[in-house]
Structure 1
């Protein structure tokens, strides 16, 4: 089932290359924050489409309409993420403060325990964030449903905690591998051009600089948006496994 989710998400993310380019353009201005919320809002629409769809269905990519609504959805998602991350962050800070008053082996032990506790709470928070966002989307965008802890816990239990963690781990691995492969291939091509140019007496520095620019363009306008949609689709479809 997990492989079916990935297969669907791979195909879904490549349905409309124009959408990837639009997301890439918005991403260029994400440092202004407002575009960042628009990207997050669009990803929420991808999740929303998925939780109301089926694996290997014919769901279209969401439209870039009603920008204000998209922006509001993005803000809601960011707030959800921040709230869920408060506990692991505070836990880490508390352990660090305690460790700062100690010394030697005891200090190291407290730091280690703090890191382990933060990691565990972080994983739980991550699960709750993803399923909370899906649960909100499934319930017509009701913000409070993102914090319906018992309902979300039931959803995770119905899907299976191991299946959830495995799916998320797979998404992360796939995103990292694809990014590295694309970057590596592009870098290799321009490195070969650079070496060849150097042999022929052409400045290799300019070629390598061009390669860096091309790599940045590909990552911004194609790879990044594609993987963003892929992750949102995968998480949304995972939620449907309990319906």
Structure 2
């Protein structure tokens, strides 16, 4: 077994730990190489393999990111106001994501619908918190990809990044203890299915309403968790 062959599965495990969701930034090459016990030359060869397979993409000056290269240029965080409060993130999502779902309903073809149905099914099949969060991120990003507007996709990626910050995670921890995996794989997945059904029917108002109802459910759950003793 060559060193590169050995490093690849270990690198994928490191990605699952440090960058589990598409759009997540991987640790620096120095930190990854130290953690894997390999040279940076070997690491770069492994990263090149993953990039060729579409598992990561790299942006000079910004780092290495999980997932396929986005359709649009990533939005630099320095160009956007830093999101500090979870309610700001949710309000921004409520303003942005329902119209994105409507646009997806206008743009989706049969292959797009099948892809979104697959993403929704992956969420319903999730069994852990991490799997739920990853499936949810893939689903919402998938809708933005179908909508086909790289600017909106870049903004959505920024909001997704904000959700991984400590201030959001503290609030989400409380919410997760309240709703758990069953809520996500049940009611939330039903709502994902309703969004996809409207997109499949070519119903922009229905898709927009379904996405708004879904995000309002999340907002309400976080409020319940905040006031719960």
TM-score (norm 2): 0.26
Which structure carries more helix by proportion?
1
TM-score, normalisation: structure 1: 0.25
Q: Which has the larger radius of gyration?
A: 1
